Amino acid sequence: MKNLNFKTLALFGFLATVGISCTNDDNSSGPNATLTETIQSRAEISTFASALDIAGLSDMLDGSDQYTVFAPTNAAFDNWMLQNGYSTLSSIPVATLKELLYNHMMQGSSETGEILNGYRKSLAHGGASSTNYMSMYFTHDPGIKVNGDAMVVTPDIEAQNGFLHVVDHVIGLPTLKTMIQADPDLSSMAGALAFDPSSGFMDTLNDTIAQPMTLFIPSNSGFSSFLTELGYGNVGEVPAANLLSIMNYHMWANQNALSSSFTNGQSIMMNNGQNVTVNLTGGGKKLTDASGRVSTITTSDIQTSNGMIHIIDNGLLPTL
């Protein structure tokens, strides 16, 4: 009897040890683990995990606040470092690394099914503003793509304080060029800006060293209506000098202007030297161009590392 009791106790002890071991394993991943624990448990994103440690962000993702994290694979991170001239994680300035990692995070917990086509905010700040959060653009085609480049390859990894999604590219701080090319509804204007490479428009919109710029970009339908109004079937039919003036008339130099900063009757001098006038009466924010035409801002405050984008429902027409 005593021997049986001893064996029974030994068996219970073994089962208890196994149970504790399984419980510890469960805490490293799964819905009971934190984002930090989940990231650290996945070998394919170990570089991202190390980067979080170096940047001092691991503790942030180990708490109770909810976040959505897009973690690049090791291969993606290695490729980004190679392209940007860094041999190791430790060679990246900590401030630079921190903002880069913030650009892979959003406040709140979102599964991929909850992330709709369109703009959301990351936790990063860029050179154009130390207070405005950077914008991110999401498309489903059919998988989720971030800023036109990083594709979600492993979605919806649940943690107790959010969701982790593994992506196949590092999500760099977006420039004006990045966002114009990422949003398919801005493809007409993107084509117009790139039509004459000698204009240097795309290089300017990708420049993070110069002063920031605010752009007013017509949607595809707005740009199409604009060309039709001018009597052109496509951008190639617009005289080169006129196209240059029109493109510059959608650019406001040396500004990173939030729509909340606009005032009624404000006159804005665009890059071609002509003005547009802000109209805040009658609902919404509108711009009256030099030809007396009115365009409405339909999507505002798309923040990039080198400026701001506001989407409008028509093109702006200068005096030609």
- Tens-digit pLDDT profile for residues 259-280: 999 999 999 999 999 999 999 9
- Tens-digit pLDDT profile for residues 178-196: 999 999 999 999 999 999 9
Q: Residue 242 maps to which CATH number?
A: 2.30.180.10
For residue 14, being part of any structural domain is answered with no
> Residues 193, 283: one domain?
yes
Question: Last residue of a domain, which of 104, 133, 167?
Answer: 167
User: What's the pLDDT at 101?
Assistant: 98
> Residues 155, 237: one domain?
no
The answer on pLDDT for 14 being more than 70 is no
Which residues on neighbouring strands pair with residue 151, listed in sequence order? 145
Which DSSP string corresponds to 106-170?
Answer: EES---GGG--SEEEE-S--BTTBSSSPPEEEEEESSSEEETTTEEEEEEEEEETTEEEEEESS-
What is the rounded CA–CA span in Å between residue 22 and residue 29?
Answer: 12
> Residues 196, 148: one domain?
no
The answer on pLDDT for 254 being more than 50 is yes
Average pLDDT estimate for 196-222: 94
- Tens-digit pLDDT profile for residues 112-163: 999 999 999 999 999 999 899 999 999 998 889 999 999 999 999 999 999 9
User: What's the pLDDT at 27?
Assistant: 53
**pLDDT-above-90 percentage for the chain:** 86
The answer on pLDDT for 26 being more than 60 is no
**Do residues 123 and 102 make contact, with C-beta atoms less than 8 angstroms apart?**
yes
